[in-house]
Each structure stands twice: as C-alpha cells, then as structure tokens.
C-alpha cells in the first residue's frame, strides 16, 4: 500500500481540481513520482564540518605560512593551543596533520572557512570564540603581519563579523588591530577617529568595550550590555572547554573594563 499511497492521493486531488480524466492522469503521475522519491519537499541540509578542529588547524597552518615562513612563536602558539584544548593523542595527531596540510600551497582556505562557518551555525558567540583563538596566531610574534591579518579578515567576512568587532576582541587581548589603509574608531556603530591610546602600558578599558573616552553613562551601559550578551559563556551551548574558558575570560575582562570606567568617570 505504501508504494501506492502517493498515486491514490495524487489521482484523487488531480481529478477533484481539474474535473477531467486528464487531471486524474496528471495526479497519478505526480503521485508516482512522490512514491519513488522523485520529489523532495525539504531543503537540503548544509554540510556541517565533522569537527571544528580540522578546519581550524588547517586555517591556522595557512595563517602561519602566509608570510613565508612558519616562525617558532607560531609553532609555540599552536602547541599551547593543543595543550589547552586537552586533545587526545589521536586528536593531536589529526590536528598536526591538518596544520601541516594548511601550510601546503594546494590547501583550500575557503573550504576551511566554509566548514568553520557551518560549525558556527550563524551564531556570533561561536564566531567570537574562533576569532579569539586565531588572534593568538595572528599576534604570536607580538605584532600581526598583514598576510595573517588578511586571512583573518576573509574568515571574519564569511562569519559576518566586522573589523570594529575584531579590533575590540584584539583589544581585550592587549593588541591593536588597525584595518589596512584606514583609521579606526572604537565607537560602537563605526566612525573615523583613531583608537584610544592604552594607559599605563595596560589594556585600555575603553578599547575593550569599544567606546570613545567621551561616552556618557547611558552609552557606556548600553555598550557593556551588548558585549555581555554577545560574549556570555552560558549561551555557548556544547563547545570544547577551552572555548568556554575563553568566553569566561572575555566576560571578566568586559566587566573589569566597565567597572574601571565607571570608577574613573564617577558613574553609578
């Protein structure tokens, strides 16, 4: 009966709609196609990366090789990342293989980026934790080189993350992200002013929150709430422990920066 259900329903609907024998034949044909699987009424599911580890370490390898030679500091950053992720021996072997593959001329960067985008599933909090990890490679030698930054820009563009957001994430880690060929404002929503200079050699709280020094109390609170909603670790769901720890650290940095500015400005 299962193989005839579509034919019966199709024939009945075709006859009822057209009130003609041709309607019955047309409905029978449509029902037959349904019975044999000729029609699919569901959207094809996008290919999701088997694991974010493979494309992540492949992209890291491409990023490390982008400026010509893989440095000792880049290798150390990758080694530290694998240790902090708590990879098993098999996972570590796979990560190293993907890293080495990423260094080869034939590595398809866009495929790795697509897989990472599939893993993120459109979630900005997942995108942010990936960017956080990759910034360690970009600034592994203390300053980001343009080839590495270009690859970061390509990935962030695919994830829908703007340059100003990268700059804020970099500021949380004590780095300055300068978009190529333009000045930059840390103000939420854009702008053209230069980034605020760090004070006392430490992380600038205004840069961490992505705001200008003249911001009022209401604007400061709005920026703080927006960042906390984007970076709160409780919203991440099922992610590796390292990425959750990174999110928790960013949340602490955001809160610390907010409290520092409130104390400096006398806000409540």
Of all residues in the chain, the percent with pLDDT exceeding 70 is 68
Q: Of 112-116, 120-124, 184-188, 203-207, which gets the smallest average pLDDT? A: 184-188
pLDDT band (50, 70, 90) for residue 124? confident
User: Biggest alpha carbon distance in the chain?
Assistant: 87
87 band by pLDDT with thresholds 50, 70 and 90:
confident
pLDDT band at 130 (very low <50, low <70, confident <90, very high): confident
- Domains of the chain are 2-35 (no CATH), 45-161 (1.10.3680), 181-268 (1.10.287.110)
**Amino acid 104: pLDDT:** 94
pLDDT at site 144: 79
Residue scoring higher pLDDT (45 or 268): 268
Which of 46, 43, 45, 60 minimizes the C-alpha distance to 118? 46
pLDDT, mean over the chain = 75
The 10 Å Cβ neighbour count of residue 35 is 18
- Alpha-carbon span 258 to 208, nearest angstrom: 9
Comparing 6-20, 85-99, 116-130, 199-213, the range with the smallest average pLDDT is 6-20
Rounded CA separation 91/105 (Å): 24
SS3 of the chain: CHHHHHHHHHHHHHHHHHCCHHHHHHHHHHHHHHHCCCCCCCCCCCCCCCCCHHHHHHHHHHHHHCCCCCCHHHHHHHHHHHHHHCCCHHHHHHHHHHHHHHCCCCCCHHHHHHHHHHHHCCCHHHHHHHHHHHHHHHCCCCCCCHHHHHHHHHHHHHHCCCHHHHHHHHHHCCCCCCCCCCCCCCCCCCCCCCCCCCCCCCCCHHHHHCCCCCCCHHHHHHHHHHHHHHHCHHHCCCCCHHHHHHHHHHHHHHHHHHHHHHHHHCCC
């Amino acid at each position: 009966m299962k193989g005839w259900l579509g034919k019966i329903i199709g024939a009945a609907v075709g006859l009822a709609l057209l009130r003609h024998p041709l309607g019955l034949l047309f409905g029978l044909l449509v029902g037959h196609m349904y019975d044999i699987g000729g029609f699919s009424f569901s959207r094809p599911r996008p290919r999701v990366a088997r694991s974010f580890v493979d494309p992540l370490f492949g992209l890291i390898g491409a990023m490390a090789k982008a400026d010509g030679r893989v440095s000792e500091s880049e290798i150390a950053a990758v080694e530290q990342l694998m240790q902090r992720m708590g990879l098993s021996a098999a996972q570590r072997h796979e990560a190293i293989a993907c890293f080495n593959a990423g260094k080869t001329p034939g590595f398809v960067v866009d495929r790795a980026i697509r897989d990472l985008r599939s893993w993120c599933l459109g979630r900005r909090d997942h995108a942010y934790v990936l960017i956080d990890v990759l910034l360690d490679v970009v600034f592994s030698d203390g300053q980001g080189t343009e080839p590495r930054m270009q690859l970061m820009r390509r990935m962030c563009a695919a994830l829908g993350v703007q340059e100003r957001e990268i700059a804020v994430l970099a500021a949380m880690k004590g780095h300055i992200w300068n978009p190529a060929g333009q000045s930059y404002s840390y103000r939420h929503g854009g702008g053209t002013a230069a980034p605020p200079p760090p004070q006392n050699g430490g992380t600038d709280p205004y840069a961490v929150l992505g705001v200008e020094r003249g911001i009022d109390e209401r604007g400061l609170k709005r920026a703080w709430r927006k960042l906390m909603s984007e970076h709160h670790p409780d919203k991440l769901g099922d992610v590796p422990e390292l990425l959750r720890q990174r999110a928790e650290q960013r949340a602490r940095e955001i809160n610390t920066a907010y409290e520092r500015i409130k104390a400096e400005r006398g806000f409540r």
